Structures are given as structure tokens and as C-alpha cells.
Amino acid sequence: MSKNPWDRSPLEVLRAGPEFDLASFDPSSTPGWSDDKDDGTERMAEQGARLADLQEMLFAEGRSGGTRSVLLVLQGMDTAGKGGIVRHVVGMVDPQGVDHASFGKPTKEELAHHYLWRIRKALPAPGRLGVFDRSHYEDVLVVRVENLVPPDVWGGRYDEINDFEAELVASGTSVVKVALMVSPDEQRARLRERLERPDKHWKYNPADLDVRAKWPAYREAYQAVLDRTSTEIAPWYVVPADRKWYARMAVTELLVDAFERLGLRWPLADFDVDAEMARLDAS
């Protein structure tokens, strides 16, 4: 499978444009892909190898004075598969080049700072692929739904986040934002599995059901995120996540695209190759 097997580009079909409507979105669909799971797995392995190569070129650039980086932002309800993306997609590249951070409930110290404080501290270093498992978007998702700050406070954050991301992009960080969408039924099945299997108990938290009970409020909060922060420079990609293989393959494609748009080249030698070869031979 060497020619592109997508019917339509995942970049195009997954991107949240101005008309995007979460209420009519189907988390079990496989937009742009009409082949089966095996074909998807094969495509993912191919593109994963490409991703690993591109990531090494970015790493090399970073080691040679470059300042660019890529940041993958993962959002989604519990069980949407954020961890699986990290393990199976990010896991295909060299761990040396990955800066991973996950953002749970803020600590006391974090709460004492601006909500972007902990985010800025975790930004990828030059040459790295940063991965945020949850992110600053929690500050307009759970914070909004749970009324953790007044509406005029969270209401101001959308613009602030857009400004923050514009700053990131201007300083050389490509931002790839992925919202993984799981259906309520599929979430139930995944939570059930966590309860049925003792090796999955540690992933279960009774509070997950409290969040689940607020599904419509979260959908509304996600819709607002997509409406207000899917910008030209840092668009949202909404990825149906009921089929794990599709979600992982799609995110691999989004990352490959982000790296390819950097036009990466291997750094040129800043030494005299022939002279060094002569020194080496004499050593």
C-alpha cells in the first residue's frame, strides 16, 4: 500500500470549520476512509515510519541551533483514547525527541498561578515533539461545566488562548489540536471493561461517572471550544474515536502532515568533512 489510500484528506474532513456541529457528529464513523481496519493498521505502520524519520530530522535541527517544535494537544472525554494515542502513535517515535506532559486537576501551587503557567512550563524544547494529554483547554471545559470560576473569567479565556497559541506558532511551534470524540455508548463499554478487569481497575475513578452524567454540558463546552478556538494557525481536528484503529491512524496522519509542512532538511555539516575523515583515518 504505497499510494495514498484515503478517499479524502483527513486534514480536510476532520478539520473543525465554522459550521462544525458536534451534535450531529458520529463518533463511530471513519471519515475519508472506506477501507477496513487491516488496511488502516497497515497505513498507520507506514506513516509511523515516516513520522519517526521526520521527527528525527526535527530533532537534528534542534540540536543544530533550530528552534522549531511540534505540539500535539489531546483533548477528549474519559476513555476517548488519549492515552492510547500517546502509547501507539507517539510511541512510534524516538523517546529522546518527545516531551510529554499530562494535565490533571491543578495542584495548589498551579492554582496559585495563572492557568497558562503550568502549560508554558511544559512546552516542548526546540526540536521536540511535545504531547499534552489534556491541556489549557481544561480551563474552558471542566472549569466551565463545574463553575470553578465565574463566567466572565472563563469567558475571556478563549481569546486569551488564541493569543497564546498565536505566540507559540510565531515562535516556531506547530500546534496540532485533536479532540477525540467517543460516543456515550462506547464510553459505557470502555468503563465497563475497566470495572470488569482487575488489571484495569487503576484506570477507573468513580468521579468519571459524575462527569459522564454531565455529557450535554460537556458537549456544549466542547462546541464552544471548537467555535471559538479553531483558528487558521491552530485549527482543531475532531477525530471520531469509537474505533481506536481509525483514531490512531488519523492522528498519525495529522502529525505527519504537520512535520511535512516544516520542509525539514538534514542540517549541513558545520565542519570540513574531508578534513575530519583524514583526522579519523589517522586516529
Residues that bind its own copies (CB under 8 A): 60, 63-64, 83, 86-87, 90-91, 94-96, 98, 100, 102, 131, 133, 188, 191-192, 195, 198-199, 201-204, 206, 209, 212-213, 266-269, 271, 273, 276-277, 279-280, 283
- DSSP string covering 211-262, please? HHTTHHHHHHHHHHHHHHH--SSS-EEEEE-SSHHHHHHHHHHHHHHHHHTT
Least CB distance to its own copies at residue 8 (A): 30
Residue 85 or 254: the one with the smaller Cβ distance to its own copies is 85
Least CB distance to its own copies at residue 13 (A): 28
Which residues lie closer than 8 Å to 237 by C-beta, 6 or more apart? Answer: 10, 11, 14, 15, 16, 176, 177, 178, 179, 250, 254
Grid cell digits, residue 35: 477501507
Residue 14 or 255: the one with the smaller Cβ distance to its own copies is 255
Residue 166 or 211: the one with the smaller Cβ distance to its own copies is 211
- Helix ranges (H only) for the chain are 10-14, 37-63, 82-88, 108-111, 117-121, 142-145, 151-155, 157-170, 184-196, 207-212, 215-229, 244-260, 273-281
Residue 150 or 198: the one with the smaller Cβ distance to its own copies is 198
Least CB distance to its own copies at residue 257 (A): 21
Residue 9 or 266: the one with the smaller Cβ distance to its own copies is 266
Least CB distance to its own copies at residue 194 (A): 9
- Is residue 110 within 8 Å of 120, Cβ to Cβ? no
